[in-house]
Structure 1
Amino acid sequence: MLYHVRMDVHPPVDHRSVDFEQLKVEEKRIAQELQRDGKWLHLWRIAGHYANVSIFDVADHDELHRILTSLPLFPFMSIDVTPLAQHPSSLR
């Protein structure tokens, strides 16, 4: 199943309470691993925002939920998920 996912990151006000830079390093590692595995198909930065738009290809809602909640930055994100379906006018 394909999903359009927007993730907006809201860094903690008190950076001393968490090693936010280390979380970003781990987030990048996991995102790249998921891309290599074919789960995270596309990843685009939204210009002017600490946010991204991504396309995931996973088995179901539960797998997507597991992936998103396992991301190191998940506690600092607001996430909007839209399931996608084939459009009848699409050439693909």
Structure 2
Amino acid sequence: MAKWTPKHEAPEPLEGPVVATITGGTLVWFVLFLVQLPFYGWFADHGHTWWLWTCLAGGGLGLIGIWYVRRRDAAIKRAAADRETSKDLPR
């Protein structure tokens, strides 16, 4: 079991424009759904309607993702502001 023990600490997670990334991905899912919607008949005839519903589900889950990352970003900013405020308080 010792050979599976990490030899160094894990790096800090990368932070980037998470809200913009999730919003862009969500828009892509919805656009893919809308582009495929006029071809519903063809998809139904060939048994591929799940392609449309996958895009719609991706867009719906993306909306949940946008809500989540916006709240996460706000919490991170609040925590940073609280740390700065606590540094400024006299002891």
Structure with more strand by fraction? 1
TM norm. shorter chain > 0.5: no
> Larger Cα Rg: Structure 1 or Structure 2?
2
Give the TM-score, by structure 1 length. Answer: 0.30
Give the TM-score, by structure 2 length. Answer: 0.30
Which of the pair has the greater relative contact order for Cα pairs under 8 Å at 6+ separation? Answer: 1
Structure with more helix by fraction? 2
